[in-house]
Structure 1
């Protein structure tokens, strides 16, 4: 990719570029790059071809600035069939987020048939015109191909998303990092209403039964519920060959809802 990456490297530190800025504060990071960088470090240090990163949970409890980033990882369990990794995200030396990842070894499915939902039947990204509104890609952070509905509309919502820049300079996007960077989009896509985006997610949990094999990630809203200012939102995730997993978020009500949810996807100022 030729677009400016989200991070450059200076020895062990990750240096945010202008592309990593978030929508809430020009001197803060976008949530998607926090999730992506934690996934990047976990995969680089502990991943293996015969393991699937079946679950990644990221807690985002502070708003990082554009200070140099350090990610520390710890191998909690290194078993024959399961690995568990923890990672901490430090901005300017202060802990801002943390992740837990469970990696499962590939093997054969057991005998027998188990019911699964039917695969979605939607146009391929190449058959959908590119949107003319730059806000749908947050002015160049990603690109989309809308399928059905939109944030804030009543009814089903589906779209394709693809990255337009690398996460870390000199490191091509892997399938795991690609879907991890995108996963945060489940928050605005599932939680935006007819009055705008009134919920801000504090975490993301990504479940994968396989990694994507194409550049496009499909999002399909399947759940949103909220009471007393606490919400959950969930999207099924797809690639061009079928379902790959889910992205689920927990969220808090925001005092000043964003009227145009197409302009952001996560990471408000933290309380």
Structure 2
């Protein structure tokens, strides 16, 4: 198996590897790898992103994917970027991102929450054998508390074992986006073998750019009485919080 989620085929075209396969079946991807692929393309337009929102328009197939980007709203201080991922002409995932030109705000920086315990204080997260391949095996998972198949809040660390695109160095930003969609999975309140809890979107706000290999999630899922849930998390690197995530969930009994 190739040591990457994707192989470059041609300009803007990438071949999905088995590392992208999600837990629901062999033909569709976990949202982490395609999110990282779109963020990789967006950061090639502008190196720093302050907010990225993904809209999931359908399953992302394990196939050749085409990525396109544009600057929707150019500006000297703030710009709105967009990207899309398609397969055989069908768009499966879109992203819109705000880029803000940086300035020195060290004198007024503050307001971040408490640190997570470091990865060295966590233990390997248990993953059932029948869910052990594809994306879940391509990421190293450590648990401080909770995790997949442990219903409720979770505090975990993760780092991809493979690069996003073969032959190219993976940035800390790409690693973060390869992981953060899993906030809803590690903090699920339902038995996902008996219930659907599928996110229709993902929004990530960053108050600083991440560093290093590890991504921490302090995650929580809330489910209402009408089939709708919300998963949120505070995202960390080893230096502390870097931002927050939110996902809307479609919840139904199987």
The answer to whether the 8 A contact 2:184-2:219 is kept is: no
- Corresponding residue for residue 269 of structure 1: none
Q: Which residue of 2 aligns with 1:16?
A: 16
Moved over 6 A (4+): none
Instruction: Give unmatched runs, 5+ long, in structure 2.
Output: none
> Structure 2: how far apart are the matches of 1:62 and 1:70?
15
Q: How far is the alpha carbon of 1:26 from its aligned partner?
A: 1.0
Query: CA separation in 2, counterparts of 1:150 and 1:11?
Result: 38
1:76 counterpart residue number? 72
Matched residue, 1:34: 34
TM-score (norm 1): 0.82
Query: What are the equivalent positions in structure 2 for 1:39-78 lying under 5 Å apart?
Result: 39-44=39-44, 46-48=45-47, 52-78=48-74
Q: Which stretches in structure 1 are left out of the alignment for 5+ residues? A: 257-271
- Give the Cα–Cα distance (whole angstroms) in 2 for the partners of residues 137 and 236 of structure 1: 26
**C-alpha RMSD of matched pairs (Å):** 2.4
Q: What TM-score comes out, normalization by structure 2 length?
A: 0.88
Q: 1:94 to 1:128 in 2, by over 3 A?
A: same
Q: In 2, are the aligned partners of 1:67 and 1:92 still within 8 Å (CA)?
A: no
CA contact (8 A) 1:22 1:29 kept: yes
Deviations 1:167-211 (A, max 9, x none): 111111111111111110112123x12534641111111111112
Which of residues 173, 177, 182 in structure 1 aligns to 2:179?
182
1:118 to 110, 113, 117: 113
Query: Which residues in structure 2 correspond to 1:152-231 (within 5 Å)?
Result: 153=150, 156-190=153-187, 192-196=188-192, 198-222=196-220, 224-231=222-229
The structure with the greater share of residues assigned to strand is 2
Pair 1:132–1:110, CA change in 2 (3 A): closer
